[in-house]
A and B are shown apart, each in its own frame.
Chain A
Amino acid sequence: EPEVTQTPSHQVTQMGQEVILRCVPISNHLYFYWYRQILGQKVEFLVSFYNNEISEKSEIFDDQFSVERPDGSNFTLKIRSTKLEDSAMYFCASSERQGLLEQYFGPGTRLTVT
């Protein structure tokens, strides 16, 4: 069964550093998403991406964040100048069409900022 994969599973970085979280969505999916989950809190939407453009972003997704689809398979989230409060699980998701229904999530990358 096709699945979304994410690397690394755990990333430790120092405050102020830049990190890139990587995702490989399901191959025939066209819509991609990043969510995050701070420990003990809700899963929060960050950004959706389609046709090499951001479709929607949340207020969390400020200039510190960027997304890219550098090739036909990868989808990345870059976090610049990381802060302690960026420590969270970051989930990539993909769907065959927009909207909804059937967003499939990856296993997540645990980001720890020290």
Chain B
Amino acid sequence: QKEVEQDPGPLSVPEGAIVSLNCTYSNSAFQYFMWYRQYSRKGPELLMYTYSSGNKEDGRFTAQVDKSSKYISLFIRDSQPSDSATYLCAMSAGSNTGKLIFGQGTTLQVKP
């Protein structure tokens, strides 16, 4: 079983739709969860991070972590064409290591 799994998509939605992006993981030691956005041939840009289980909201973005199910989600409300990018989930076991384990990335296209 892969350590972090993420459906690569592509996912195509109309402008204004609610987008749900998900990752599952197998390592129960992961405590820190991040979402990055990556435009083509650019570096990953940190969108959100959460610690342990729960929800976190930032503008149109909501991150959810369910550690009991080893499942994390990123919701994008009122999606815009500028949200078209690849979304990467990343995880870390704890503060004694900076090592991030990334998912494959989901390619999102928001059509006007």
A84 to B84, CA, bound (A): 31
Q: Do A99 and B96 touch (CB < 8 A)?
A: yes
Q: Which of chain B's residues have a CB closer than 8 A to the CB of A102?
A: 46, 49
When distances are taken between beta carbons in the complex, the residues of chain B under 8 Å from A56 are: 97-99
Residue B73, interface by CB 8 Å: no
- Please name all residues of chain A whose beta carbon is closer than 8 Å to the beta carbon of B32 when the two chains form the complex: 99-101
Within 8 A of B (CB), among A1-32: 4, 31
Cβ–Cβ contact A42 & B103, under 8 A: yes
Q: State A42–B88 Cα separation when bound (angstroms).
A: 9
Contact A105–B97 (Cβ < 8 Å)? no
Interchain CB contact under 8 A, A106 and B43: yes
Mask of A72-114 contacts with B, CB within 8 angstroms, 1/0: 0000000000000000010100010011111111111010000
* Contact indicator B98/A100 (Cβ below 8 Å): yes
B69-89 vs A, CB cutoff 8 Å, 1 = contact: the mask equals 000000000000000000010
Other than the given A102-B46, A103-B98, 5 more pairs (CB < 8 A) read A43-B44, A58-B99, A99-B92, A102-B49, A108-B42
Q: Which residues of B does A touch, CB under 8 Å?
A: 32, 34, 36, 41-46, 49, 51, 88, 90, 92, 94-105
